[in-house]
């Protein structure tokens, strides 16, 4: 079990913030699965992991103006 410091938790929450609410749970579950494989963790490693996972779960908004109505 990985215990995050307040600073590390802030990294996770910052990474989750731009995700759509429906994607946040999936992001956090995936993050938990990855972190379970680590015995030592620092803010740099956590940031890299969050960045990589954020790319997988980020669903950019459609800004083209051609949204279906």
Q: Is residue 53 part of a domain?
A: yes
Q: Is residue 66 part of a domain?
A: no
Number of structural domains in the chain: 1
Task: Identify the domain containing residue 33 by its residue range.
Answer: 6-57
Under 8 Å between Cβ of 36 and 2: yes
Whole-number Cα distances in Å, 69 to 57, 61, 66: 25, 15, 9
Indicate yes or no: pTM above 0.75.
Answer: yes
List the chain pLDDT tens, one digit each, 69 residues.
Answer: 778 899 999 999 999 999 999 899 999 999 999 999 988 788 899 999 999 999 999 988 778 876 555
Under 8 Å between Cβ of 46 and 23: no
């Amino acid at each position: 079990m990985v215990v995050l410091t307040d600073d590390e938790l802030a990294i996770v929450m910052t990474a989750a913030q731009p995700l759509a609410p429906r994607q946040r749970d999936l992001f956090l579950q995936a993050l938990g699965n990855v972190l379970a494989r680590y015995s030592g963790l620092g803010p740099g490693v956590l940031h890299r992991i969050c960045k990589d996972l954020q790319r997988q779960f980020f669903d950019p908004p459609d800004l083209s103006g051609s949204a279906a109505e």
